[in-house]
Amino acid sequence: MIEIDDLRFSIAGRRIFDGLNLRIASGTVTAIMGPSGTGKTTLLRMITGQLRPGSGSVRVDGREVPALDRAGLYDLRRHIGMLFQNSALLTDDTVFDNVAFPLREHTRLPERLIRTVVLTKLHAVGLRGAARLMPSELSGGMARRVALARAMALDPDLLLYDEPFAGLDPISLGMILRLIKVNNDVLGVTSVVVSHDVEQISRIADYCYVVSGGRVIGEGTPEQLRHSDSALIQQFMSGAADGPVPFHYPASPYRDELLGGRS
Amino acid sequence: MESTPARELGAGMFILLGFASLFFLATQTTNVESYVNDKGYTVTARFEDVAGLKERAPVTMAGVTIGRVERISFDPKALNAVVSMRISPEFDEIPDDSDAAILTAGLLGSKYVGIGPGGSETYLKNNSQIQLTQSAIVLENIIGKLLFKLGMENDSSKPAE
Amino acid sequence: MGRLAQIGRRLAQAIRKLGSVVLFLLTMLQAMPYALRRPRLVTVQIHNAGVLSLVIIMTSGFFVGMVVGLQGYDAFSRLRQEDLLGAAAALSLIKELGPVVTALLFAGRAGTALTAEIGLMKATDQLSAMEVMAIDPMGRIVAPRFLGGLIAVPFLTAIFNSVGILGAYFVGVQLMGVDNGAFWSQMQEYVDSGDIREGIIKSLAFGGAASLVAVFEGYTADRTAEGVGLATTRTVVVTSVLVLILDYMITSFLL
């Protein structure tokens, strides 16, 4: 479904990707993990064509994304749903209108049919009762479920989840996990989940990539990764505070700085 | 947040209010009738001096505005000013021997064209020219002449003494 | 030398900004058909830009008109020409004060709201989410807001002028005792439709400029609370200066 080859990209002189390669198979749940700031969100924006790589190839469904023109991109995006970390619901519209939004924009369905579809999607995320609420009246977990219903509205082939677990209470988290799994199992949607929550993502992912320093440093099923002999992956999977990724940001020796003033 | 229909209603009322204001401005602040655009007919008059006369200045007859000055140009051959005036169509019986003068509203006010009626049986029509004209009175000239004349009188009265 | 280089950098920055505004405008014009096919979106924005500015516009208009009436009466009574008050008030309102003050008030009331709204939508990924949903935020969000402002400002200006003239009437005729007939007849004598046209041309230009600045600043705001705040401030400052510059330029072309 997604093939990324030798991806290179930098913003303002900072290198984000330095020869990244990965493959995402159709119908799987693939996790992309890595420490904060490794450009996981950037990677998603390249898959949707919102950012163009410096060099390298991003193919989605056989189409070379950076080479697509506007019409091509928009056509591609109709088959992609994306769940944003902060939900990104339209704050002026009700929950119902938010879910109906892509349907009204992209289809000529009569309002009666749109209502049916929206209620079905909201029911699937368990929020049919909240249809008349405004986004400001929702909790973080509910907002994310509404956003998921919206991302699913057009029955996409590919769903991208950007940090779907961040900032959720355990119950909401469990709901989101279940929804990702159900979407994948029942609807056959290819799912890409960007997260640094190793423990949660391991429960549903078929395959994982660990990204650090602009490239893939490890890949495999969650089980394989857990038994990896790479120290870096071990540190990441077990969440150790210190290791190959040091606890301290690079600095001059502590003693010198404290005693030596600013000389 | 208000619903979309409520906001549409508000927007509609707003547009209506805006149009009402435009209508008010168009009808209450301007004299639509005296400002004739393409209606009416044009007559010209030649003046030796139009000092201070502006385009769109009123053209009056017996103190009533009957038209506006449309264009003021200079004739390089005859060395005088050609003033074309657009007269409202309802004033179509102005004798063709009428005279035109450039007058001043008040002592220092703005200049306008005054038409004095003649006695002819034929009337001014489109593109006719008013033959009899009286130029603008330039205050400096009058004062100059007055002073000159006063000086002359003083001079001529002296030897008589 | 360092100073010169700094001036050069500033200049290059300003030119780049100007270029980005032009590119932004072109992109928005490209997205215009989308907005025009959905007049409902524009209607809602006319409501936001127009109806919500109505109270401030009418209040300010009335008081500006009263001040013009008072000052005009004071000046004309020295010349014994009180009858000209109506004409002077109407001309100054229609040709200058109306378009300029309305545009400045619009920038403060509606322009800042537009910038903050678009800036926040950007900061909370709403614009990004639309892009992913294959909906162009330029057409869906930016263009209707621009059109709403562009349409609302001339109407707001007309309302400002009318209320202002009533304010001048109130002070001049009701309080100061200028003759009622003279007030209106002198106004009709001296104001012609060319003056009104000048006012409309100005208000269209100011409305376009104010709306463009507002949506541009919002769309290019940094994705932070501070960025949105700064963009809002810039909207007011840039619009104010731009309106005054445009005012001089248009006046000199039309006179």
Residue B150 forms part of a structural domain: no
Average pLDDT on C97-111 reads 95
Residue B159 forms part of a structural domain: no
Question: Can you give the pLDDT at residue B161?
Answer: 45
Contact B14 C47 (CB under 8 A): yes
CB contact under 8 A, C162 and B25: yes
| Domain interval for residue C148 | 31-254
Using 50, 70 and 90 to split pLDDT, how confident is the model at B157? low
A182 phi, psi to nearest 5 deg? -65, -45
Write out chain C residues lying below 8 Å of B86, CB-based: none
| Domain membership flag for residue B155 | no
Tell me how many domains chain C contains: 1
Long-range pairs, C32-35, Cβ under 8 A, ≥24? C32/C139, C32/C143, C32/C147, C33/C139, C34/C136, C34/C138, C34/C139, C34/C140, C34/C143, C35/C139, C35/C140, C35/C143, C35/C144, C35/C147
Q: Quote the pLDDT of residue C151.
A: 94
CA distances to A39, A158, A194 from A7, rounded to whole Å, are: 12, 20, 17
CB contact under 8 A, C47 and B15: no
Region B32-45 average pLDDT:
69
* Of the ranges B68-77, B111-120, C203-212, the best mean pLDDT one: C203-212
Against chain C, the chains showing at least 3 CB pairs within 8 Å are A, B
B11 and C159 in contact by Cβ < 8 A? no
Residue C1's pLDDT is what? Answer: 60
Average pLDDT over residues B99-106: 82
Residue B156 has pLDDT above 80, yes or no: no
Q: Which helix (H) or strand (E) holds A63?
A: strand A63-64
Using the structure block, give the residue that is written with the tokens 């506007």. A70
- Which chains does B contact via 3+ CB–CB distances below 8 A? C
Is residue C212 a part of any domain in this protein? yes
Which structural domain range is residue B122 located in?
34-144
Quick check: C159 and B8 CB within 8 A?
no
Whether C17 is covered by a domain: the verdict is no
- What's the pLDDT tens digit per position in C128-177? 999 899 889 999 999 999 999 999 999 999 999 999 999 999 999 999 98
pLDDT digits (tens, 9 = 90+) for A113-124: 999 999 999 998
The answer on B68 and B44 residing in a single domain is yes
- Say if the Cβ atoms of C132 and A90 lie within 8 Å: no
As a whole-number percent, the residues of chain B with pLDDT over 90 amount to 2
Say if B125 falls within a structural domain.
Answer: yes
* Residue B31: per-residue pLDDT: 63
**Domain contains C16:** no
What residues in chain C have their Cβ under 8 A from chain A's Cβ atoms? Answer: 120-121, 124-126, 128-129, 131-136, 140
User: Considering the domain boundaries, does residue C6 fall inside one?
Assistant: no
Q: Does C221 map to a domain? A: yes
Q: Are residues B57 and B127 in the same domain?
A: yes
Using a CB-CB cut-off of 8 Å, the residues of chain C touching A48 are 131-132
Neighboring chain C residues of A42 at a CB cutoff of 8 Å: none
Same domain (yes/no): B47, B69 = yes
What confidence tens digit (pLDDT) does each residue in B88-101 have? Answer: 888 888 888 888 98
Residue B36 has pLDDT above 60, yes or no: no
Indicate whether B109 belongs to any domain: yes
Residue B34 has pLDDT above 50, yes or no: no
Give the span between the Cα atoms of A227 and A126, in whole angstroms.
37
Taking all residues of chain C, what is their mean pLDDT, rounded to a whole number?
Answer: 92
Residue B1 has pLDDT above 50, yes or no: no
**Residue B16 sits at the chain C interface (C-beta within 8 Å):** no
Chain A residues 123-162 with CB within 8 Å of chain C: 147, 150
Domain count for chain B:
2
The whole-model pTM stands at 0.77
Alpha-carbon dihedral of residues A107, A109, A112, A117, nearest 10 degrees? -50
Contact between C155 and B4 using a beta-carbon 8 Å cutoff: no
B110 and B59 belong to one structural domain: yes
- Give all strands of the β-sheet with A207-212 in edge-to-edge order: A80-83, A158-162, A190-194, A29-33, A207-212, A215-220
Tell me the nearest-neighbour CA distance from C122 into chain A, angstroms. Answer: 9
